[in-house]
Structure 1
Amino acid sequence: MSAPAGGGRAGEDAVRRLLADPPDLPVRHGLDALRSALGERGAAVLQAPPGSGKTTLVPPVLADLLGPGGGRVVVTQPRRIAARAAARRLAHLLGEPVGRSVGYVVRGERVVGPEPRVEVVTTGILLRRLQRDPDLPGVGAVVLDEVHERALDADLALALTVDVRSALRPDLLLVAMSATVEAERTAAALSGGEEPVAVVDVPGALHPVERRWVPLPGGVKRLDDRGTTPAFLDHVAATARAALARDAGDLLVFLPGAGEVDGVVRRLRGTVAADVHPLHGRLPSAEQDRALAPGAPGERRVVVSTAVAESSLTVPGVRLVVDAGLSREPRTDHRRGLAGLVTVRVSRAGADQRAGRAGREGPGVVHRCWSESEEPHLPAHPEPEVVTADLTGFALELAVWGAPDGAGLALLDAPPAPALAAARAVLADLGAVETPEDGGAVTARGRALAQVPTDPRLARALLDGAPLVGARRAAEVVALLAEDVRAPGADLVAALRAVRRGGPGTASWKATARRLEGLVGGAGAPSERLTDDVAVGLVVALAHPDRVARRRPGGTSYLTVGGTGAALPRAGDRDAGTTGSGSSGLGALEWLAVADLDRRPGAGDATVRAAAPLTEDLALEAAAARWQETDDVGWRGDRVTARRVTRLGAIELSSAPLSTLPPGALATAWRERLGREGLDALPWGEAARSLRRRLDFLHRTLGDPWPDVSDAGLAATAELWLGADPRRTDLVAALRGLLPWPEAGRVDELAPERVRVPSGSSVRVDYAGDQPVLAVRLQEVLGWEASPLLADGRVPLLLHLLSPAQRPLAVTADLRSFWDEVYPQVRAEMRGRYPRHPWPEDPWTAPPTRRAAPRRPRP
């Protein structure tokens, strides 16, 4: 898009005029402190609430500080809507058209004159420039706005800009602007390792906002396992109608996503005396501008918006807010590799931001679609995206910068190690980075993927898909995936045909597709052998090879290469469209390329939300890195079996039995079985169990060098003592082979298997408990003065003294005390019950015996 000529000296004069008589905004009272902070350190944090004017007045202050020839001021905004709106607002105050002294650059649109003083860009645009040329030629200052939102690219842009100031551009002025807390942490990050930079805190001057709670009617749920419920959207629309009927002013309604926005817009149009406008990132620029433009005199407006209007936009005329209380945040299941946006409760900080929109121009009212008692249970703040989001693109940016693990960068929060490892594994799979063992550095392919302004997986699909299906078709499919266009019945091919015909989301999709096609315009014409259906499937499979899926034998569900079970949506599922999945014909296909999956709580399989047909040949081509041929050795009962298996990830393609076991296969099978079933899978005999218990006693009592024969200890040393085929291994000999020398010769002395008692019997010692036990009939130890000591005298043998019927009479390790103090009572109780057995009055002198007196003959 062309921009008005001009700028230069006229722009300098316009900036000075604005600063000489700035608008009466709260931030004007902090501008002198900001100038002073920048003069001392060249960097500062400005904390001011929404609506205080920081986005409007801070960039001109920096332009003035830089002076003629000092370079332009680059201001970042988290969203395209906000970038355009901020540029237009500042240009209006300077009395110029956009594109002269003030311009903007967003994805797919550039309105910048030849000599701009201020350039407003999305954070992603700044990242691309930093990666392309860290020197930032022609830039004298960077303003990072809305850093409190803690988006991934915003955190990264802050860290890289600080790195540039430290290493290359100490003259670069840097201001981070935040509307909420954590300003001190940001100030420490901006310091480059020195004392934190100054924080300029500007109090807000919002008008009072009355809070009203509108809890849900009985039986209505906000969310179910399919997302936001239609009944809840009915409640939000009813709350909006009541707010318009009760109070004056325009109304701003907050909802979590574009789908909910469109749903409430449909419910309100024609039912309220006001112009109703949607506002979200997928709308064409003209529609976004209409939502942000003031209404005609005497006409009321309703703007139904996603979070784009939460903090970085001013919607004129708004005095009423309806807050649905929901937010859409990134979440990732790193185990299954399923990433996406989920709907969660808004944080208290987010709810306060939304409420503040009603108090920018005068006293206002916020209607909260929850009860007052729920308020304390809301999370205090949204979690930073680095903690919850898929980190694949983030990890690629780090690798391109030369810091694959982020070490040394001023990141406000370190990325979680498991999530970063999963992201780097994906990049290695794409050939974008070296393996961690090789350093994880970016490859030439990785740099090429990073040049495509989308997720690295989609970038791979574009670059590799264009030569196979043609640049236009590859770009159209990638744009469809990037724009998150809904696929009725999960049929992505039907969704593509729908956007080609025109309809909701078409303008944004077309613009994205044109831009992507321009990156690979010479990649080739469409292959004649591929229909549209299969071409879509191939591009999807290139983006998500782990989601290539094959129907399970004899069933209707699918198994993906990554190992996730997947099922097509049921007929009647509102996310499947009005006709359900049956009309798409996907369920009749053996192979699918799945673009979008989600898993409902308690469901065995994930639900396919978008997929396209695929053939086995193309599945093998797209997921070639997952193809493998292995020899599987397993068990059928107690018999070892072996087969050669060809797999595509978790999908088994074919198998054939092996007539002979590969070398080492039997040992491998036993290791796997032991890992699965534990040591109980071994053919333990009583002799081996007994020896193991005795060795365990010695290890616990004497320690090294006696071996650890616990389950964990034996499993860790299985290769040292267990043969290739444990069924043919003498486990007693194997355990003895672990014994140290010369201690091995003392096992029977230190932990005897049996002990001879005074009666002459040899009684087995039980080592199963914490202390060895000898269970023996009382009459066999008459006259025994003390229990034997085991393990070189360290542990007394615990005696379980039994009745003639082998029932316990006493437990003792101190026989002398037993005979003197306890035995008389035992004798009194037992002699009448067992008259044929001796119960001598003096146990010290009576001979021990294992026999009973003979029965007397009956008279």
Structure 2
Amino acid sequence: MDDDPIARLLADPPDLPVRDGLVDVVAALRARGVVVVQAPPGTGKTTLVPPAVAAAVPGRIVVTQPRRIAARAAARRLAHLLGEPVGGTVGFSVRGESTTSAATRVEVVTTGVLLRRLQRDPELPGVGAVILDEVHERHLVDDLTLALLVDVRAHLRDDLVVVAMSATVEAERTAALLGGTEPAPVVAVAGALFSVETVWCPAPARTARTDERGVTPMFLDHVAATVRRALEERTGDVLVFVPGAGEVDGVARRLTGLDGIDVRPLHGRLPAPVQDLALATGPRRRVVVSTAVAESSLTVPGVRLVVDAGLSREPRTDHRRGLAGLVTVGVSRSSAEQRAGRAGREGPGAVYRCWSAHDHARLVAHPEPEILTADLTAFALELACWGSPGGVGLALLDRPPAAAMAVAQATLAALGAIDAAGHPTARGRAVSAIPADPRLARGLLDGAALVGPRRAAEVVALLSDDVRTPGGDLVAALRDLRRGGPQSGPWRAQLGRLRAAVPSGPAPEHLSDDLAVGLVVALAHPDRIARLRPGGSTYLMTSGTGAVLPPGSGLTGLPWLAVADADRGAGRRDATIRSAAPIDLDLATEAAPALLREDEVVAWAGGAVVARRVRRLGAIELTSAPLADPAPELVVEALREGLAREGLALLRWTDAATSLRQRMAFLHRAVGAPWPDVSDDALLADLQDWLGPDLARVRGARDLSRVDVVQALRRLLPWPDASRLDALAPERLTVPSGSSLRVDYTGDQPVLPVRLQEVFGWRATPRLADGRVPVLLHLLSPAGRPAAVTADLGSFWSTGYPAVRAELRGRYPKHAWPDDPLTAAPVRGVRR
């Protein structure tokens, strides 16, 4: 139709590589209703696939983008091609901003916006097709939205068309999941990039890329120097990749003042006009310093040069410490290739990589999917609200790790957001409706009644925007934002959204701003309430993790802190506090009543059992008092701790006790059950079984030394087999001379040291343990020195004795050495 802008565009589309695949895409949709489009960045899939689908499918076409910048830019680009303003045939909706109309046929949204719509009404009324773009990035929200759409097609709307677009060769996995019983068709489009030359620019020797504070200033100097080199050596605009907003600002500052060059920052926290400026060409040469937002989902026109710092920010969760956040890691090879490709979209270009070819070969192939590394609390709440606790029954590209999911569900249960079966409570649905992490939503809901709705929303907006402040002082950061500081624009927008999510109410004024901020932070993160350790500069959090403030922080020395953000401190024992606010004990216990408990603590300390009644807030000990009558099982555990730490030598091991233990150990080795294991580990594990009746009286090392160990060990002897102990493992053996000699059970085989002349006439070696084990005879000379060792006495008399006799006759000529020892009388003592 002549008046249809989409039909006009498709009649004469731009010369983009994806144009040749549009017919196959539409044919696959008509045949199956699903398709995967595999095309590298720069092929035009985000520009031309949506109008092609809109021409073939009735209803609104919803196109997702992983980021707000990309959603606005994609809508602006397509509207420009149609010759219309945004909000007509093409519109967009992102968090806090929507430009659409009744005439909108293609709506570009962030994936999070689509997820909220799915949760509100899974049937997506009025929507004919959903196009998921950049699914290869494997963000948590993208994986979840794809799984929910597969569920919707299977159970609610088999007419809903779904297109998944990926820039990598892993499209087959997505196709298998999207297609259900039969994989979805895959339409592959070849890229048409120009050649891109690689220039290796490793940092100078001894220049660390990162330290405990993040990317080092020296490495940012190197990145800025590499940008200057690229500008001097080649023509065209420069796109610089660094990991985060702080590094964007740092490199941009270092490049300020370049003659004839516009330096443009680009990251998700900038106001929309500043983002748009970075994406628009101008009269002068540009350097666009960007995070990964420009890696695949954005087109930055005019770029012929890429400078890549080789770093990215990825979510990591330390479940042991209860810390989650973004960490700086080396870029993957696939991401490095996508970044480099930005230089070859409009003509031949070059990529300057701030690492060596040798280091490049050691990069990981692909970044880890977020579902395997990120905090899953919000993800788990979405699953619960969908009706699939833990993701049961959903087609996810990767299953969430069981341990991480268990931690997430425990967190939600502690917030009162899910019940014992994992289903959402009314509070959980209220938490889910708030555009923030569930912990922050709890801080908003509960904090509104304690500090007032506006102050609570101010603090949560500050936390959700991840505002970093020098010294980690959140109160100072809040005051700066209230005054209209440089980050106040996004903060005020988020404040408005959060303020609308909680009802109006009275604003209590009894708390200062300092304590109000601390209380809201503590409500959101009760596991991060921290107290200063006695006599030190470090803190202990209720989770049990140690933490330290950065040098020069104005919070140093405060007795209590509510910590909003702390990183894991790679290679260090304590985490580093990135943002916190003051709090006091009363507010801490009000924010975390579930962590407040009293315990009987019985431990081994200083050679004694010490019993106390301890009141704790999580891992933080608040008060302690002596406990006169501790529970017997706690005493046993303390004794086990003491014996494990200081050894069983705390007991008085007489010769009789040692001998009995050795004989029992021998029978355990030789016979097995029912003879018990009496090794150190086994005795410590079964302390109650053999020492139990003696433990009630024990309070220290002196009491332990009075325990009758022989009697204690006898409690372990099996009945009725115990009556045969002396027969199976006798303490002594009588030899032919009449001597009763002690058997040595210290080795693997029982040993009997005996003078050779005392065993004349003994035809066979004695055997123990019902004949299972021969005794090893150490045959001694008249002087008591070893002359021979044998476990086969019969063989010794016939083969070994003649040589031993010849030697001993020469050494001891006055002693009798008969030719036939089997008929000779045994001689006791040293008689000649």
TM-score range for the pair, normalised by the shorter chain length = over 0.9
- Counterpart Cα distance in 2 of 1:769 and 1:397: 63
Aligned partner of residue 265 in structure 1, secondary structure? helix
Could you list the per-position Cα deviations for residues 258-313 of structure 1 after superposition, in whole angstroms to 9, with x for gaps in the alignment? 111101111112024211100000100110011011223xx211100000000000
- Counterpart Cα distance in 2 of 1:833 and 1:159: 92
- Counterpart Cα distance in 2 of 1:694 and 1:685: 14
Q: Is residue 757 of structure 2 the alignment partner of residue 779 of structure 1?
A: yes
Q: CA deviation at 1:807?
A: 4.6
Letter of the aligned partner of 1:472 in structure 2? R
Q: Is residue 289 of structure 2 the alignment partner of residue 285 of structure 1?
A: no
Q: Is residue 523 of structure 2 the alignment partner of residue 535 of structure 1?
A: no
Q: What aligned pairs does 1:767-846 form with structure 2 within 5 A after superposition?
A: 767-804=745-782, 806-833=784-811, 839-846=817-824
Range with bigger deviation, 283-292 or 635-644: 635-644
Native 8 Å contact 2:318 2:568 kept in 1: no
Range with bigger deviation, 531-540 or 702-711: 702-711
Select the residue among 217, 232, 243 that pairs with 2:204: 217
Aligned partner of residue 588 in structure 1, secondary structure? coil
- Counterpart Cα distance in 1 of 2:349 and 2:574: 47
Cα distance, 1:837–1:172 mapped onto 2, change above 3 Å: farther
Could you list the per-position Cα deviations for residues 12-54 of structure 1 after superposition, in whole angstroms to 9, with x for gaps in the alignment? x222222222211111122222222222322121110001111
Cα distance, 1:302–1:805 mapped onto 2, change above 3 Å: farther
Q: Is residue 745 of structure 2 the alignment partner of residue 757 of structure 1?
A: no
Structure 2 equivalent of residue 6 of structure 1: none
RMSD, aligned α-carbons: 2.3
Q: CA deviation at 1:171?
A: 1.3
Select the residue among 618, 623, 634 that pairs with 1:649: 618
Range with bigger deviation, 601-610 or 611-620: 601-610
Q: CA deviation at 1:679?
A: 5.7
Q: CA deviation at 1:824?
A: 3.1
- Counterpart Cα distance in 1 of 2:477 and 2:783: 83
Could you list the per-position Cα deviations for residues 645-668 of structure 1 after superposition, in whole angstroms to 9, with x for gaps in the alignment? 101011111111123334644334
Structure 1 equivalent of residue 436 of structure 2: 454
Aligned partner of residue 792 in structure 1, secondary structure? coil
Structure 2 equivalent of residue 524 of structure 1: 506
Q: Is residue 131 of structure 2 the alignment partner of residue 143 of structure 1?
A: yes
- Counterpart Cα distance in 1 of 2:785 and 2:135: 77
- Counterpart Cα distance in 2 of 1:664 and 1:716: 13
Q: CA deviation at 1:546?
A: 1.1
Q: CA deviation at 1:349?
A: 0.5
- Counterpart Cα distance in 1 of 2:653 and 2:158: 73
Structure 1 equivalent of residue 558 of structure 2: 589
Structure 2 equivalent of residue 849 of structure 1: 827
Q: Is residue 244 of structure 2 the alignment partner of residue 275 of structure 1?
A: no
Structure 1 equivalent of residue 150 of structure 2: 162
Q: CA deviation at 1:754?
A: 2.4
- Please list every run of 5 or more consecutive structure 1 residues that lacks an aligned counterpart in the other structure: 1-8, 571-579, 855-859
Native 8 Å contact 2:61 2:131 kept in 1: yes
- Counterpart Cα distance in 1 of 2:738 and 2:193: 98
Aligned partner of residue 207 in structure 2, secondary structure? coil
Structure 1 equivalent of residue 228 of structure 2: 241
Letter of the aligned partner of 1:560 in structure 2? M
Structure 2 equivalent of residue 699 of structure 1: 668
Q: Is residue 17 of structure 2 the alignment partner of residue 29 of structure 1?
A: no
Aligned partner of residue 105 in structure 1, secondary structure? strand
Range with bigger deviation, 827-836 or 147-156: 827-836
Structure 1 equivalent of residue 299 of structure 2: 314
Native 8 Å contact 1:667 1:724 kept in 2: no
- Counterpart Cα distance in 2 of 1:502 and 1:835: 111
Q: CA deviation at 1:567?
A: 1.9
Could you list the per-position Cα deviations for residues 79-106 of structure 1 after superposition, in whole angstroms to 9, with x for gaps in the alignment? 1101111111111122221111211111
- Counterpart Cα distance in 2 of 1:636 and 1:375: 53
- Please list every run of 5 or more consecutive structure 2 residues that lacks an aligned counterpart in the other structure: 696-703
Letter of the aligned partner of 2:12 in structure 1? D
- Counterpart Cα distance in 2 of 1:454 and 1:829: 93
Structure 2 equivalent of residue 18 of structure 1: 9
Q: Is residue 487 of structure 2 the alignment partner of residue 505 of structure 1?
A: yes
Structure 1 equivalent of residue 700 of structure 2: none
Structure 1 equivalent of residue 106 of structure 2: 118
Native 8 Å contact 1:75 1:142 kept in 2: yes
Letter of the aligned partner of 1:592 in structure 2? L
Select the residue among 75, 79, 84 that pairs with 1:91: 79
Aligned partner of residue 555 in structure 1, secondary structure? coil
Q: What aligned pairs does 1:26-425 form with structure 2 within 5 A after superposition?
A: 26-67=17-58, 71-192=59-180, 194-296=181-283, 299-425=284-410
Cα distance, 1:106–1:725 mapped onto 2, change above 3 Å: farther
Q: CA deviation at 1:457?
A: 1.1
Aligned partner of residue 723 in structure 1, secondary structure? helix
Letter of the aligned partner of 1:26 in structure 2? P
Cα distance, 1:838–1:362 mapped onto 2, change above 3 Å: farther
Select the residue among 570, 587, 598 that pairs with 1:629: 598
Native 8 Å contact 1:493 1:612 kept in 2: yes
Native 8 Å contact 2:2 2:8 kept in 1: no
Aligned partner of residue 612 in structure 2, secondary structure? strand
Structure 1 equivalent of residue 699 of structure 2: none
Native 8 Å contact 2:609 2:635 kept in 1: yes
Select the residue among 504, 524, 530 that pairs with 1:549: 530
Q: Is residue 548 of structure 2 the alignment partner of residue 567 of structure 1?
A: yes
- Counterpart Cα distance in 2 of 1:354 and 1:756: 87
Range with bigger deviation, 345-354 or 237-246: 237-246
Aligned partner of residue 365 in structure 1, secondary structure? strand
Q: CA deviation at 1:554?
A: 2.2
Letter of the aligned partner of 1:375 in structure 2? H
Structure 2 equivalent of residue 477 of structure 1: 459
Cα distance, 1:517–1:811 mapped onto 2, change above 3 Å: farther
Select the residue among 450, 455, 466 that pairs with 2:448: 466
Cα distance, 1:316–1:692 mapped onto 2, change above 3 Å: same
- Counterpart Cα distance in 2 of 1:600 and 1:808: 62
Range with bigger deviation, 217-226 or 596-605: 596-605
Cα distance, 1:674–1:458 mapped onto 2, change above 3 Å: farther
Structure 2 equivalent of residue 610 of structure 1: 579
Cα distance, 1:722–1:250 mapped onto 2, change above 3 Å: same
- Counterpart Cα distance in 2 of 1:767 and 1:797: 10
Q: Is residue 476 of structure 2 the alignment partner of residue 494 of structure 1?
A: yes
- Counterpart Cα distance in 1 of 2:366 and 2:676: 53
Range with bigger deviation, 449-458 or 767-776: 767-776
- Counterpart Cα distance in 1 of 2:542 and 2:460: 21
Could you list the per-position Cα deviations for residues 148-179 of structure 1 after superposition, in whole angstroms to 9, with x for gaps in the alignment? 11111111111111111112111111111110
Native 8 Å contact 2:569 2:576 kept in 1: yes
Cα distance, 1:804–1:25 mapped onto 2, change above 3 Å: farther
- Counterpart Cα distance in 2 of 1:495 and 1:625: 30
Aligned partner of residue 51 in structure 1, secondary structure? coil
- Counterpart Cα distance in 2 of 1:166 and 1:684: 72
Cα distance, 1:737–1:382 mapped onto 2, change above 3 Å: same
Aligned partner of residue 787 in structure 1, secondary structure? coil
Aligned partner of residue 522 in structure 1, secondary structure? coil
- Counterpart Cα distance in 1 of 2:155 and 2:655: 72
How many residue pairs were aligned? 823
Cα distance, 1:341–1:852 mapped onto 2, change above 3 Å: same
Letter of the aligned partner of 1:524 in structure 2? P
Q: CA deviation at 1:359?
A: 0.7
Percent identical pairs in the alignment equals 68
